[in-house]
Structure 1
Amino acid sequence: MDIILIPGFWLDGSSWDAVAPALRAAGHRVHALTLPGMDSPTADRSGITLRDHVDAVVAKIDACDPAEQVVLVGHSGGGAVAHAAVDARPDRVARVVYVDSGPLADGDAINADLPSENGEVPLPAWSGFDDADLTDLDDELRAAFRDRAIPTPARVATDPQQLRDERRYDVPITVIACEYPSAQLRTWIAQGHKWVRELARISDVTYVDLPTGHWPQFTRPAELAAVITGSLTSA
């Protein structure tokens, strides 16, 4: 099966390097994407939009074998991109795996509050993150992350999500819950929290807890790969 790995903010396709080999060893074809504007720290990304990132994923879906469905794996802000790609190609996606992320509703932005400079969002200081984000991300991993970090195009963070096809709700999903356990997500859904309202409408949701911080591809890559592989048995 084709697995398309979509990185979150500040990361390119190489962020999946510790996860992808296990997926390939399980027999899958792995496509770790570097999204537009994320190929170089010096790239001009001021004009890159959220739709540009979505279109890049849709193009990869279209490039895969049309006789088979694909699986999308979206980390963090990449989850919003994955959801919009499902909206564009609901018949081509067998499952979406959200890695410490979830589906973003129509009209919402991924994170309009992140400070930007010259049309891009640099990786903030670690003090700007919650403690839960940084669980297991030790000093060595933090330094490696910062060395590889690439600013995210500002419009990817601030553009409103655009969704049109309600068949997206019929595509099964797996939510890998890291910094917040799945029980908390269910509670927020029951309470009607705005940011999980799209998740609440998905008809087939599997929750898997992977207790760690916001970047399990760095802190617990083997376990993350195992959860992703396990989620595909029903895809």
Structure 2
Amino acid sequence: MTRFVMVAGAWLGAWAWDDVAAELRAAGHEVHALTLSGLAEKQGVPAGQRTHVRDVVEEVERLGLRDAVLVGHSYSGIPVGQAAERIGDRLRRVVFVDANVPVDGESFLSGWPSEHVRRAIAEHGGVWPPATAEDYAGQDLTEERIARIVAGATPHPGATLTEPAVLAGPPGALPATYVKCLLDGDEPPPAAAKPLESGDWELVTMDTGHWPMFSRPRELARVLHASAAGS
């Protein structure tokens, strides 16, 4: 039995993991899905990048977890990677699901053309509006699943995207698995390249889009199970 703590990406809350969590629990695992401050049922709570790191650290400590596997999807790889460094030996492994990987001094928006995101944040009172149904096209999602994501998504606190990560060491020091969803590009982000090339991290690919918890929940659950078992 493995204890998982799972954090979804931008606009999403703990609810995004419902299907994956059900699969893992059926296999005998313990699953804790976390909603970050300012999202879903926590809308309106002020949040910056430090807040989201603290959310993850405090959840692991509150639950008294040891030998846990911490899972971050998309944006949440940034706070999850920082939290993992702070949690230390409470973790067995970190799993980045098609996720951003933190780099000291860089934000979620660093390193890619983000003017449109910054402009959207400025025009919407400091939040990043959720994606539209059209933005999910070509990502292995049925119309029903797209409708489910769009209905549940909430604006994302802008400061969490613009504030830089703070790390004492390189992310490659963490035992980790990187799950690359191939419909969203063939290559993991540059920050994952060095630990993957060195063999310190495991690379797993999925032939699906950027939101595998919706498009392939059973397959993603198997990937997480195998990653934890192979730690």
Q: What are the superposed Cα offsets for residues 192-227 of structure 1, whole Å, 9 maximum, x if unpaired?
A: xxx513551466211111111110101111101111
Q: Aligned residue for 2:127? A: 120
Per the TM alignment, residue 140 of structure 1 is displaced from its structure 2 partner at its CA by 2.0
* 2:14 match: 13
| Structure 2 residue ranges without an equivalent (≥5) | none
Is 2:227 aligned against 1:231?
Answer: yes
The number of equivalent residue pairs is: 219
The range that moved more, 196-205 or 97-106, is 196-205
State the 1:181 CA deviation: 8.3
Preserved contact between residue 7 and residue 13 of structure 1 (Cα < 8 Å) = yes
2:149 is the alignment partner of 1:148? no
> Alpha-carbon deviations, 1:4-45, whole Å to 9, x = none?
00010010001000000121122221100011111348x324
Question: What CA RMSD, in Å, does the superposition of the two structures yield over aligned residues?
Answer: 2.3
Write out aligned runs for 1:16-165 (5 A): 16-40=17-41, 43-45=43-45, 47-65=46-64, 68-111=66-109, 113=114, 114=117, 115-116=120-121, 117-127=124-134, 134-165=138-169
CA shift for structure 1 position 171: 2.2
Inter-CA distance 226–164: structure 2 relative to 1 (3 Å threshold): same
* TM, length-normalised to structure 1: 0.84
Following TM superposition, by how much is the alpha carbon of 1:180 offset from its aligned partner in structure 2, in angstroms? 5.7
Instruction: State the secondary structure of the residue aligned to 1:135.
Output: coil
Larger proportion of helix: 2
Following TM superposition, by how much is the alpha carbon of 1:141 offset from its aligned partner in structure 2, in angstroms?
Answer: 1.7
CA distance in 2, matches of 1:204, 1:13: 29
Contact 2:85 2:174 in 1 (8 A): no
Gaps of 5+ in 1: 186-194
Answer yes or no: is 1:205 the counterpart of 2:185: no
Using the aligned pairs only, state the percent identity.
Answer: 33
Q: What is the CA-CA distance between 1:165 and the residue it aligns to?
A: 4.1
Looking at structure 1, the residues matched to 9 and 213 of structure 2 have their Cα atoms a distance apart, in angstroms, of 11
Residues 120 and 106 of structure 1, relative CA distance in 2, 3 Å threshold: same
How far off is 1:81 after superposition? Answer: 1.4
Asked whether 1:184 is paired with 2:187, we answer yes
Q: Supply the distance in 2 between the matched residues of 1:128 and 1:182 (Cα, whole angstroms).
A: 15
SS in 1 for 2:40: coil
